């Protein structure tokens, strides 16, 4: 009789130690570990109060652990999705701004040398005109008089006036192009109205998960 009681007590002690060890292990379990545990336990309800979960049953303590893990997993997924979406959006925004910048640089580069041919043509035209005027003075016997410097000075003045007109026109065109391109970029920046979900709101909802 005594040996039977001793065997029963030893078994109870072994079961208790196993339960203690199991409880220690549960502290580091993942959700998948809990799913495997419930799957092995089947529909067996533990003694005392129990909560249904994933096709099986858990003690209130174990259910709290699982709920906490589910909350953490949901929070991590939400934060990950939020950060991923925000990163993609920021990259897209940066790409668009870079596109505007590249367009601006290309347009400004195309302005290099703009009007050079026109100004060269003016230089040549007034050089030929000056030569013709000097030849006319020679033919008229006035080359050695004070008229020649005055004529050449007037020719040079007209040339400079024409060149100034070209430069002013080119400057206006350049400013107009710069203003248009810069305005597009600024307008795009001003239109940006990114809105992101309030993580704190969703975190509060997640915390309520499983609490009822």
Which pLDDT tens digit goes with each residue over 40-94?
876 566 666 678 888 888 888 888 888 888 888 888 888 888 888 888 888 888 8
Residues 26, 65: Cα–Cα separation, whole Å = 9
Average pLDDT over residues 120-149: 81
Q: What pLDDT is attached to residue 203? A: 63
* Location of structure tokens 């078994």: 11
Answer whether residue 201 shows pLDDT above 70. Answer: no
More confident residue, 1 or 99: 99
Task: Name the token pair of 70.
Answer: 């589910």
Does the predicted TM-score (pTM) go above 0.85?
Answer: no
Tens of pLDDT along 79-97? 888 888 888 888 888 887 8
Answer whether residue 212 shows pLDDT above 50. Answer: no
- DSSP alpha helix (H) spans, 111-146: 116-139
Nearest CA to 59 out of 68, 51, 67 is that of 51
Which of 86-90, 133-137, 187-191 shows the lowest per-residue confidence on average (mean pLDDT)?
187-191
Which of 14-23, 71-80, 105-114, 171-180 shows the lowest per-residue confidence on average (mean pLDDT)?
14-23
Question: With contact defined as beta carbons under 8 Å apart, do 185 and 100 qualify?
Answer: yes
Which residues, in sequence order, are bridge partners of residue 50? none
């Amino acid at each position: 009789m005594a040996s039977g009681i001793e065997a029963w007590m030893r078994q109870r002690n072994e079961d208790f130690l196993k339960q203690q060890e199991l409880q220690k292990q549960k502290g580091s379990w993942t959700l998948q570990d809990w799913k495997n545990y419930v799957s092995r336990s089947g529909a067996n309800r533990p003694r005392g109060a129990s909560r249904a979960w994933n096709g099986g049953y858990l003690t209130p303590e174990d259910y709290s652990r699982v709920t906490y893990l589910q909350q953490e997993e949901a929070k991590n997924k939400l934060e990950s999705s939020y950060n991923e979406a925000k990163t993609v959006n920021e990259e897209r925004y940066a790409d668009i701004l870079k596109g505007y910048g590249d367009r601006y640089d290309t347009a400004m580069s195309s302005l290099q040398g703009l009007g050079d041919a026109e100004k060269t043509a003016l230089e040549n035209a007034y050089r030929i005109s000056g030569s013709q005027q000097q030849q006319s003075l020679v033919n008229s016997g006035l080359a050695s008089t004070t008229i020649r410097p005055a004529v050449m000075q007037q020719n040079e003045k007209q040339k400079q006036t024409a060149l100034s007109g070209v430069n002013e026109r080119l400057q206006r065109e350049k400013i107009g192009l710069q203003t248009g391109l810069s305005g597009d970029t600024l307008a795009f920046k001003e239109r940006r109205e990114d809105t992101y979900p309030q993580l704190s709101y969703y975190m509060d909802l997640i915390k309520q998960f499983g609490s009822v």
